[in-house]
Amino acid sequence: MKKILVTYFSASGVTKKVAENMAKAAGADLFEIAPEQPYTRADLNWMDKQSRSTLEMKDRSCRPAMAATPDISGYDVILVGFPVWWYREPSIIDTFMESADFSGKTVVPFCTSGGSGLGDSAKNIHALAPGAKVLDGKRFSHSASADDLKKWAEQF
């Protein structure tokens, strides 16, 4: 049986809820990808062209610092969850992907969104995780059932 780690970044709590339910349903471990400097409501105002999140997403080289880095060495499958920002993964996910050696691991992104899909996230994550098998992933709504989450997580 493969050892699964569910990792996630959540700005509003939606992705956190889905990730927690997924980890519980699949019997997986859980790790929050938290920024060293938490985002404020003003930081997340995507309509403000000078907000922290807007500036980070405009700069593809931006790598917000993480509060902690997990030890992924004992895992076969890493599920990486996030809200969709500007049709892709938030920059802190890029930080996470560059924080460890994913060689030989299966990495599967999942997102939460009101309607947007993963966009270029799988392609971006693949570029940041050389040697990993990166799958396309899936979008989940905030109300995804435990059964659906379990079935999806256990297929890897």
pLDDT digits (tens, 9 = 90+) for 14-39: 999 999 999 999 999 999 999 999 99
Residue partners of 70: CB distance under 8 A and separation at least 6: 5, 7, 31, 100
Return the pLDDT at 60: 85
Question: Model's pTM, two decimal places?
Answer: 0.93
pLDDT digits (tens, 9 = 90+) for 28-70: 999 999 999 999 999 988 889 999 988 898 898 999 999 999 9
Strands 106-112 and 138-140, bridge-based pairing: parallel
Of 2, 1, 33, 3, the closest CA to residue 110 belongs to 33
As a whole number of angstroms, the distance between CA 110 and CA 16 comes to: 12
Could you give all domains of the chain from N- to C-terminal order, each with its CATH number? 4-154 (3.40.50.360)
As a whole number of angstroms, the distance between CA 106 and CA 59 comes to: 27
Strands 138-140 and 133-134, bridge-based pairing: unpaired
For residue 154, is pLDDT > 90?
no
DSSP H helices, the chain, are 14-26, 52-58, 91-97, 121-128, 146-154
What six digits make up the tokens of 139?
A: 């979008």
pLDDT digits (tens, 9 = 90+) for 119-139: 889 999 999 999 999 999 999
Residue partners of 71: CB distance under 8 A and separation at least 6: none
Return the pLDDT at 112: 93
Of 116, 151, 149, 155, the closest CA to residue 135 belongs to 155
